[in-house]
Structure 1
Amino acid sequence: MAEELDWDPIRALARRVLRNGEPLMLTIEVRELLARTAREVGLSQADATSALASDTSALELLRECSRRISEGSSRMVNALHRMYQHKRAGDLDSARQEMRDVLAAEEVPHYRAVAQGQLNLLDDEP
């Protein structure tokens, strides 16, 4: 991704709306945040645009963006932990498989890029 990711605003919105029960107010800023985040988590522009047509579908979009960020982060952190354990043990094949498993399951382009980068580094290992 060319632009720097900043998921703090979407996390704060999700916390206020999904956890604390505040209503989702579809201001211009919130619409832009949801549209940008949808792109960043691998949703199509058409899906995001469609979801922003109503409060109910915008709320579902927020849920989906939040889910993808959270689950992708957990998947990545856990896989990296296992990968480093395998690498320290000298088992590069298992370390590579951890990153391949992430690539097979991951929807978020950022996490896919991290996994691919790690896999490339592992492939450069002897």
Structure 2
Amino acid sequence: MNTPDWNSFRNLARRVLREGAPLTLDEAECELLLRTAQEVSITDTEAALSTPAGAMALLREAERRIAEGSNRLTDALHLMWKFQGQGDLDSARQQMREVLAVEVVPYYRELALEQLDGMADGP
């Protein structure tokens, strides 16, 4: 599994969305937005980059998917480990199944599947 490097994207999102810096849509920013959008399963990115409003919407949606997916997976992992510690593997597995039911970011889906597969040998 390749871990996405979202540091540059997060820096861009912070500067634009929180600090009010302009989204310049130069070649580097466009490439970063396109790559990140692909990594978080956003389609129709070329059309989004054709207008400043579309580019901002793309930036917001990619940032939302990364943040919500990370939070969702982290919360589920904590509960999974708690249930595993209690010997309740069914409930532990259910945490990962619930992530998989709603998660669209391939990286987070892959992590959840790995956790679920790791529990397949248990009782």
Aligned twin of 1:122? 119
Q: How does 1:1-126 map to 2 (within 5 A)?
A: 3-44=2-43, 47-126=44-123
Q: Structure 1, unaligned stretches of length 5 or more?
A: none
Q: Normalization by structure 2: what TM-score?
A: 0.97
Q: Output the amino acid matched with 2:72.
A: R
- Distance apart, 1:4 and its partner CA: 4.0
In 2: Cα distance, 1:21 partner to 1:95 partner: 41
CA contact (8 A) 2:3 2:107 kept: no
Q: Deviations for 1:52-81, whole angstroms, at most 9, x for unmatched residues? A: 111110010000000000000000000000
Distance (Å, rounded) in 2 between the aligned partners of 1:4 and 1:103: 18
- Misfit runs of 4+, over 6 Å: none
Letter matched to residue 92 of structure 1: L
**Unpaired segments of 5 or more residues in structure 2?**
none
TM-score, length basis structure 1: 0.94
The count of residues paired between Structure 1 and Structure 2 equals 123
Q: Percentage identity across aligned positions?
A: 53
Structure 1 Cα separation of the partners of residues 3 and 103 of structure 2: 19
